[in-house]
């Protein structure tokens, strides 16, 4: 009886003492929900919008030449506990589409923690500026993307469909969504011509 009691006590104490050494506490994680790609002072800027209970958007901007570099920089210099597993929306300014769109989508497809159903869209320069002031804007963008996806079956609105179009041998051009935010949010379509 004494031996069983001591054994149970040792097991419980070993669990309490050792804990989970390689775990990541959720309250310390910085979870990115939306990422925008824009241009500031002639440089490409990736902005990570983080999940937060604050009334205003919480974000960190990183200057980088690619999304891969931006993620590495963000984790090493700005957001050490950055989590990208809940990323729902990736928005690129239209003028940077040729420079970043294809390489960023390819990088996302190679990493298992990015959802292949993550929404990807182009936008005007005004939208990236508006996002830093309006916390509800990403949800409105997603709602618009869902509506246009249901209306236009051939439109590529997620990373998987865009990846398939870029890297298949069949298509030479395809359509993606474009958010026009000049007066109010309006979703249009833009044709991407892929040079194979």
C-alpha 87/C-alpha 114 separation (Å) is: 7
Residue with the bigger pLDDT between 5 and 149: it is: 149
For the chain, give the percent of residues with pLDDT over 70: 83
Q: For position 24, what pLDDT does the model report?
A: 44
Binned at pLDDT 50, 70 and 90, residue 181 comes out as confident
For the chain, give the percent of residues with pLDDT over 90: 51
103, pLDDT greater than 90: yes
- Rounded to 5 degrees, what angle do the CA atoms 130, 109, 190 make? 50
Q: Region 170-194: what's the mean pLDDT?
A: 80
Kindly state whether residue 46 falls inside one of the protein's structural domains: yes
Q: Region 84-102: what's the mean pLDDT?
A: 92
Binned at pLDDT 50, 70 and 90, residue 174 comes out as confident
Q: For position 191, what pLDDT does the model report?
A: 84
Name the residue among 128, 113, 124 with its Cα closest to residue 71: 113
Domain that holds residue 127: 29-193
Kindly state whether residue 160 falls inside one of the protein's structural domains: yes
The Cα-based distances of 121 to 9, 12, 130 in angstroms read 57, 51, 16
Kindly state whether residue 22 falls inside one of the protein's structural domains: no
The Cα-based distances of 164 to 100, 112, 119, 153, 179 in angstroms read 17, 16, 14, 15, 22
3-state SS, 106-139, equals HHHHHCCCCCCCCEEEEECHHHHHHHCCCCCHHH
Structure confidence by residue, pLDDT tens digits, 76-87: 999 999 999 999
Total count of domains within the chain: 1
Q: For position 68, what pLDDT does the model report?
A: 95
Q: Region 178-184: what's the mean pLDDT?
A: 82
Q: For position 4, what pLDDT does the model report?
A: 66
- How many Cβ atoms from other residues are within 10 Å of residue 81's Cβ? 13
- Quote the mean pLDDT of the chain: 85
The Cα-based distances of 111 to 84, 107, 122, 162 in angstroms read 10, 7, 22, 16
Kindly state whether residue 1 falls inside one of the protein's structural domains: no
Residue with the bigger pLDDT between 12 and 124: it is: 124
For residues 108 and 167, the answer to whether their CB atoms sit within 8 Å is no
Kindly state whether residue 19 falls inside one of the protein's structural domains: no
For residues 131 and 138, the answer to whether their CB atoms sit within 8 Å is yes
Q: Region 15-27: what's the mean pLDDT?
A: 49
Rg from Cα positions in the chain: 21
Binned at pLDDT 50, 70 and 90, residue 10 comes out as low
21, pLDDT greater than 90: no
Q: What share of the chain is helix, strand, coil (3-state, %, to 5)?
A: 40, 30, 30
> Do β-strands 89-93 and 30-40 pair in parallel, antiparallel, or remain unpaired?
parallel
Structure confidence by residue, pLDDT tens digits, 22-49: 444 444 578 999 999 999 988 999 999 9
Kindly state whether residue 11 falls inside one of the protein's structural domains: no
Kindly state whether residue 114 falls inside one of the protein's structural domains: yes
Kindly state whether residue 71 falls inside one of the protein's structural domains: yes
């Amino acid at each position: 009886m004494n031996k069983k009691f001591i054994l149970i006590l040792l097991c419980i104490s070993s669990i309490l003492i050792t804990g989970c050494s390689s775990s990541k506490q959720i309250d310390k994680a910085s979870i990115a929900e939306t990422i925008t790609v824009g241009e500031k002072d002639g440089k490409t800027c990736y902005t990570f919008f983080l999940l937060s209970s604050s009334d205003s958007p919480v974000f960190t901007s990183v200057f980088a030449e690619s999304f891969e570099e931006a993620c590495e920089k963000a984790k090493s210099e700005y957001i050490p506990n950055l989590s990208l597993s809940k990323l729902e929306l990736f928005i690129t300014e239209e003028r940077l589409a040729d420079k970043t769109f294809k390489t960023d989508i390819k990088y996302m497809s190679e990493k298992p923690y990015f959802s292949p159903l993550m929404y990807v869209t182009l936008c005007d320069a005004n939208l990236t500026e508006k996002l830093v002031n309006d916390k509800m804007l990403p949800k409105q963008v997603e709602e618009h993307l869902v509506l246009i996806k249901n209306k236009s079956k051939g439109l590529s609105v997620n990373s998987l469909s865009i990846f398939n179009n870029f890297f298949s041998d069949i298509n030479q051009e395809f359509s993606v969504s474009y958010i026009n935010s000049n007066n109010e949010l309006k979703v249009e379509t833009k044709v991407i011509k892929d040079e194979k």
